[in-house]
Amino acid sequence: MKKCFHLILISLVGYIGISQIKEQPLDSLTEKMIIIQGDSIFQQSIALDEVYVFGRLEFSSYKDKLKYYILRRKTLKVYPYAKMASERLEELNDSLMKIKSKRKKKKYTKQLQKYIEGEFSDELKKLTRTEGQILVKLIYRQTGTTTYGLVKELRSGWRAFWYSTTAKMFKINLKEEYQPENVHEDYLIEDILQRAFAASQLVRQESVLDYDYSSLTNKWSKIEKEKK
């Protein structure tokens, strides 16, 4: 199992007294510095959260528009499960780091597995095939490991094979990765997530994968224009 899953959280800036920002003249210069209440350090600027300026959604056909909004509905539905899975796995890794005994580690892992399965199983059974596949992709987005790989690490290799075989019967590939830089649907999922984060529809949890949303947008916009 991976020892840790890197979670990058964008922190909010100086909530203490931020609403009471004062401007002070700097000697005879017209340039002004900023003082944040409770902080004696003069600053010329304040670090703000990263902000994306989203372009207007454009579709080449009604069919493409419909597909996007269906994908949006499904993505918003399953994202919380992927986020929760990532958090539980992080808790598992953090706890295992503190446990020295192999026997106790194994016992703790089994207990958490049962807890996760009990927490997820009933809800996951209600997912459609496409929702299940999106969830597999999002779990990879959050952990950097395929669902098949996680099952293999948490259980035996045989059980992972069984899960994979069963999933294929329902047309779900547990080995599928999340590749927004290469797969257009994955980019659309990322676009849906970023817009939902900005609108506070979903709680932001950064991906552990190495890609830049702005660069992806430029790339796919160019590709779509070239098709026209």
For 209-214, what is the mean pLDDT?
92
Per-residue pLDDT at 45 exceeds 80: no
Question: How many Cβ atoms sit within 10 Å of the Cβ of residue 84?
Answer: 15
Pairing verdict, β 29-35 and 22-26: antiparallel
| DSSP code string of the chain | --S-------PPP--TTTTS-EEEEETTEEEEEEE-TT----BS---------PPPP--SSHHHHHHHHHHHHHHHHHHHHHHHHHHHHHHHHHHHHH---HHHHHHHHHHHHHHHHHHHHHHHTT--HHHHHHHHHHHHHHHSS-HHHHHHHHS-HHHHHHHHHHHHHTT--TT----TTT-HHHHHHHHHHHHHHHTTSS-----SS---HHHHHHHHHHHHHHH-
Q: Lowest-pLDDT range, 92-101, 123-132, 215-224?
A: 92-101
Q: Which residues contact 37 (CB under 8 A, 6 or more apart)?
A: 16, 17, 20, 21, 22
* Domain ranges across the chain: 62-227
Q: Judge if pTM exceeds 0.85.
A: no
Looking at the DSSP assignment, which residues form a beta bridge with residue 22? Answer: 35
pLDDT digits (tens, 9 = 90+) for 98-120: 888 888 877 777 776 776 666 66
Check residues 32 and 92 and name the one with the higher pLDDT.
92
> Distance between CA atoms of 46 and 35, rounded to whole angstroms?
10
Q: Are 196 and 202 a contacting pair, CB within 8 Å? A: yes
The pLDDT, as a whole number, for residue 226 is 83
